[in-house]
Chain A
Amino acid sequence: NAGVTQTPKFQVLKTGQSMTLQCAQDMNHNSMYWYRQDPGMGLRLIYYSASEGTTDKGEVPNGYNVSRLNKREFSLRLESAAPSQTSVYFCASSGPGQGSTEQFFGPGTRLTVL
């Protein structure tokens, strides 16, 4: 039982490049989330998916897109990376029911945009 896994662990991009961050969970959770963590700002929600087939914007969605590929996988795409997107990105999941309580986090992806 791996919990929540994320790939890659580290990534360096140049401004304007695109990339997709992958997330998968094996806990049969319905809900999945993408956050970014910046110093002194805690975690901010980018997008979430309450259940398979649905996605909604969080606090800071601009510059990102998501895909809930199936119940296990939730990817985050940066179409044209900007230096302001330099951050640590965390995926999380919760369940089994919709809106269930605590979230479980992956190990994070450290992204640098030059």
Chain B
Amino acid sequence: AQSVAQPEDQVNVAEGNPLTVKCTYSVSGNPYLFWYVQYPNRGLQFLLKYITGDNLVKGSYGFEAEFNKSQTSFHLKKPSALVSDSALYFCAVRDPRNYKLSFGAGTTVTVRA
């Protein structure tokens, strides 16, 4: 079985400070990992993915994530947060052998001015 844990329901940071959203996963074999962002009353938008290769993945809007196989983690980071980054963030994992994408419960990020 595959699963994702996002240990923090909420993350609060000041604008200009670094932002980290944590994600750990469980899957047999090599995972496909994703981050999505959801703004209020909108669908999910794809931010970035790890499939293979370099452990540091860069995505949209200045976000990046680091794949750590030994810790089974895929934390999302942004060096300098903006108020407009306030949203709900989802981590997701997929076993390449099937189509199922498993989502974490989500982390609400609030960036204060």
Contacts and interface: CB of A to CB of B under 8 A. Distances in A.
- Give the interface centre of A43, A45, A50, A107 by most chain B CB atoms within 10 Å: A43
Interface string A76-111: 000000000000001010000001011111111000
A66 B99 CA distance: 17
Nearest to A110: B41
A34 interface: no
Nearest to B106: A42
Interface residues of B, number: 24
A12 to B, nearest CB: 17
Contacts of A102: 34, 46, 49
A2 interface: no
A61 interface: no
Contacts of B46: 102-104
Interface string A39-59: 011111100101000001011
Interface in B76-113: 90, 94, 96, 98-101, 103-106
Contacts of B41: 108
A8 B94 CA distance: 29
B90 A101 contact: no
B34 to A, nearest CB: 6
Nearest to A38: B105
Interface of B: 4, 9, 32, 34, 36, 41-46, 49, 51, 90, 94, 96, 98-101, 103-106
Given A42-B104, A104-B46, A106-B43, 13 more contacts: A4-B43, A31-B99, A42-B106, A43-B103, A50-B99, A56-B99, A90-B44, A101-B32, A101-B51, A102-B49, A105-B45, A107-B42, A108-B43
